[in-house]
Amino acid sequence: MTVLPIIVAPDPILKTRSEKVEKITPEILQLMNDMLDTMYAARGVGLSAVQVGVLKRVITIDIEQDERGKAGKPIKMINPEIISSSAEINIYNEGCLSFPGQYADVERPAAVTIRYLDEQGKTQTIHADELMATCVQHEIDHMDGIVFVDHISRIKRDMILRRLKKANK
């Protein structure tokens, strides 16, 4: 079990676009395992590789873990992409491991269909709604250099960033 350090905003790496994984290597597989360990230790439901300082298009998600952070149904995605999204919008009070203790209501499509590679390099397609849809969109945003506060008003975003800077001093 390896718990990696989580990058905290306003670190500029969080605004950097991640690179596509060209080949699934033992290092990528180990990264995904370490990301799950890190996510569980931090009590998160999703984590993008950029949040641990790796600019690769890799995410881990587990929205079914128990209240103690024990694994439920972990999903590891390589090069995930949204191939369709609903017109219906959902508002969810999002938080982020890279913005500890900060939350804001974010509007996103209520349902999405995602295509990705699994650990064996096989193409998978899943339909996600509710918390899973929010989580996967949040993590895909991370890989594009977009953080959840980019979806809220400038005033709210500035307040959150000021609180983080103050907490980091």
In a domain? residue 3: no
In a domain? residue 114: yes
Q: How many structural domains comprise the chain? A: 1
In a domain? residue 2: no
In a domain? residue 144: yes
Per the annotation, the verdict on 67 as an active-site residue is: no
C-alpha–C-alpha distance, residues 103 and 117, integer Å: 30
In a domain? residue 28: yes
**What range does the domain containing 63 cover?**
12-168
pLDDT tens sequence across 68-124: 666 789 999 999 999 999 999 999 999 999 999 999 999 999 999 999 999 999 999
pLDDT tens sequence across 135-151: 999 999 999 999 999 99
In a domain? residue 7: no
In a domain? residue 5: no
- Contact of 116 with 75, CB cutoff 8 Å: no
Q: What is the CATH number of the domain that holds 158?
A: 3.90.45.10
Catalytic residue among 27, 107, 130, 139: 139
Q: In the beta sheet, which residues pair with residue 108?
A: 90
